Structure 1
Amino acid sequence: MTVGQRNSRIDVIRGVSILLVLFHHFNIAYRLNDTWLAKAFGWEAVRAVARNGNYGVTMFFVISGYLITSNAQHRWSGLSGINARAFYRLRVARIIPCLLLLLGTVNLLALAGVAIFQNHAPGGTPVSFWLVNLASLTFWMNVLVGLHGWVNYPLGVLWSLSVEEVFYLFFPILCLILKRESRLLVFWAAIIVIGPFYRFVHQGDEGGFLYAYFASFDGIAIGCCTAVLAKRMALRARAATLLQCIAVVAMTFLYLVGPIAETNVLGVTGMASGTAVLLLGAYCRPAAPGVGGVRVLLGFEWFGRISYELYLFHLIVLGAMRTMWPPRIVDGDTKLLLFAGFLVLSAALSASIARLYSEPLNRRIRHGRTAA
């Protein structure tokens, strides 16, 4: 829900995040251990980059909380004046069109007999499409994943959307009840503290330490706090740059040092806090860096602009590729060619959906309001 001109630096961060997720999911489908990348850099190095794509989702949560809060501040001249009905309409305009398109596509492909888009029973209990669709539309797909496993390949990504939308269901209500930003900061701080404890208690249960509401709410709450504090902090350009460099180094170390199953307790908090520092820097300098008038990170920025569509629809592309080229018959550098095709096709599909479908519907539902 962006007000006014987009912040290019935030789009760059989103672009990096979504590419980490895409690389993670591709490596799950087509293990890259026998490719040129593994030979040149070592399989352990490649696996270290590929295994922690969920930290990319953590970064998304922080960015989401930051943008929702900062835009609400701008729209309604402060969080205490938020219009709940308008807030929910804006969420519907941005979220629901793409969600319905995804569900319709997956349901049709499943009915057509494409196996990878049909429901499965990894936990031994069959789950109907009625239940999967209901969980998707009412935002408890993360609960369904925790109970039954990855029952539907392309719809599994909706676990994170479920976390976000349940958080935002209560966002305007809390703003109207608590009124003061200081009280909201205290409430969000409590959510931030709960996160690591919740993940610690649920170690060994992936559905608990990765996908549960309270295992993920702290990332969004950190983003909300960052938006409130950003306008109160006056960072000089050099200080912002130094802090961002420190954050990037720390986040890179945390990302690579071990699998998220081992580092998640404080790792999610650390990754979210590093993202918050990057957002503070973006607040101070909204334009992306450039050399000779050409933005160095233009590609990441472009991916960031379509990150929502990419996140929802990239597994449609990957599922189709896995059907046409089953991983068991693909080896060596052929996987890298498929990876390149995966990126191009996912980006083209997502950009087309954004331009021809989600953005026009977004504007129409908003009745001419500024698009997200």
Structure 2
Amino acid sequence: MTKSVAGTFIPGLNGLRGISALLIIVYHAKVLSLPGGSLGVDVFFVLSGFLITSIISAELEQTGRLNFRNFYAKRALRLFPALALVVIAFLLFSHFVFTLMSPHDDLQASVFTALYLMNWSRAFGWARFNVLDHTWSLSVEEQFYLVWPLICIGLFRLPTLRAKIICTSILLIASIVIRYILTFKGASTDRIYNGFDTRADDLLAGCLLAFALSSARIDELCRQKMPISLRFWTPVSVVILVLHAMFVDQLSRFANLIGFTIVQIAAVILILNVLYRRTGLTNSILSNKIVVWLGTISYGLYLWHFPTLMFLQKLEPRPWQLLGYNFAVTLVLAVLSFYLVEKRFLQLKRYFVSRADQRQLNGSVEEYAA
């Protein structure tokens, strides 16, 4: 399963990214009461862990080694150009149009963003709230990309798949335990919400799923049993996510102790639904061409929506107008970013493909594994 996922474009997974991005945009606009609307980030994390582990596992299974040069070059080509564009645009706009912060704060925020340290800046209050605050999640993912390939190599030296799954589960539980300890010790909500150590369980939930599905036996069992059980569990998961978004504050103690775990389980079920059921209302929505396309440009949507929102708020529009303006401007910027910048750099991935894996990158899972 890992091999097939790593070489196949699955529209529903892209659609899941698109829906998550839309949820985050609505959440930040604050036009609806969605205290837990940022769960879209958690879904992103779970999906990223699943996709990246699938890619790494496929290469390790084929070659017995991981080409770090290729891996990190492709990650950089996928992620950094669009991020650099946003940072440069932010600095120019702040300097020549108007700024929400001081020049020192602008520069500080840009440095933390470019170095993928925004999560720790928010966790420990190194800088005040700023227009690039939302890049904390990109910092968490980048820190994951730095350590997870090394861990994967160690895991693949273990004799059995069960051992890999057990070790990954231990890491996941360790992240949860750290979050519990910090919660009961009264650590700040910023420390718990933004720390890589306290949020790694989201990513590891996806990693665990990827390892489990790499077993031909588990894959076959899922193909036989999942379509029936998912008829019940998929709508239940959707309802849980909706209720969580409506009623659970992501900064609350409940979220720290059980909320994040609930979202992880629901996200895993949705991924399984896309992989094994392929039918039903949920998959129809996730596989809709518009939703899939939004998933394709979801990285740009996420990058641009928050700075755009912060600047548009200065115009003091009504809440629903703000959401409409923000979505329209963000959509235009994300489209320009993807088709004029991101795609050009993605084409360079062909120079970083291993000899054992010469498939066409177009349509590959790597196109939307951010």
Name the TM-score class by shorter chain. 0.7 to 0.9
Distance 1:268 1:294 in 2: 24
Correspondence for 2:75: 91
Q: Mapping of 1:171-190 within 5 angstroms? A: 171-179=148-156, 180=158, 181-190=161-170
Cα drift, residue 283 of structure 1: 1.7
Q: TM-score, normalised by structure 2?
A: 0.81
Where structure 1 has 5 or more consecutive residues not aligned to the other structure, the ranges are 33-45, 121-125
Q: How many residues get paired?
A: 337
Correspondence for 2:10: 7
> Which of 223, 247, 252 is the aligned partner of 2:242?
252
- Which stretch has the larger CA shift, 5-14 or 87-96? 5-14
Higher relative contact order (CA 8 A, sep 6+): 2
Where structure 2 has 5 or more consecutive residues not aligned to the other structure, the ranges are 354-360
| CA deviation profile, 1:228-256 (whole Å, cap 9, x unmatched) | 21242332422233322222233333333
Distance change >3 Å, CA 337–CA 218, structure 1 → 2: same
Correspondence for 1:272: 264
Correspondence for 1:314: 305
Cα drift, residue 107 of structure 1: 1.5
Q: Which letter maps to 2:293?
A: W
Q: Which letter maps to 1:248?
A: V
Q: Which letter maps to 2:298?
A: S
- Which stretch has the larger CA shift, 147-156 or 102-111? 147-156
* 2:9 partner SS: coil
Cα drift, residue 257 of structure 1: 3.3
Q: Which letter maps to 1:193?
A: I
Distance 2:162 2:125 in 1: 40
Cα drift, residue 167 of structure 1: 1.1
Distance 1:243 1:97 in 2: 39
Asked whether the equivalents of residues 23 and 37 of structure 2 are also in contact (C-alpha less than 8 Å), the reply is yes
Asked whether the equivalents of residues 313 and 322 of structure 2 are also in contact (C-alpha less than 8 Å), the reply is no
| CA deviation profile, 1:94-141 (whole Å, cap 9, x unmatched) | 11111111111111122225222x359xxxxx7571x43332222221
Distance change >3 Å, CA 249–CA 230, structure 1 → 2: farther
Whether 2:259 is the aligned partner of 1:241: answer no
Asked whether the equivalents of residues 7 and 287 of structure 1 are also in contact (C-alpha less than 8 Å), the reply is no
Cα drift, residue 344 of structure 1: 2.2
* 2:132 partner SS: helix
Correspondence for 2:146: 169
Distance change >3 Å, CA 140–CA 309, structure 1 → 2: same
> For the aligned residues, what is the CA RMSD?
2.8
Distance 1:175 1:296 in 2: 31
Asked whether the equivalents of residues 289 and 297 of structure 1 are also in contact (C-alpha less than 8 Å), the reply is no
Q: Mapping of 1:189-268 within 5 angstroms? A: 189-203=169-183, 205-231=188-214, 232-233=218-219, 234-235=221-222, 236=224, 237-262=227-252, 263-265=254-256, 266-268=258-260
Q: TM-score, normalised by structure 1?
A: 0.81
Correspondence for 2:91: 107
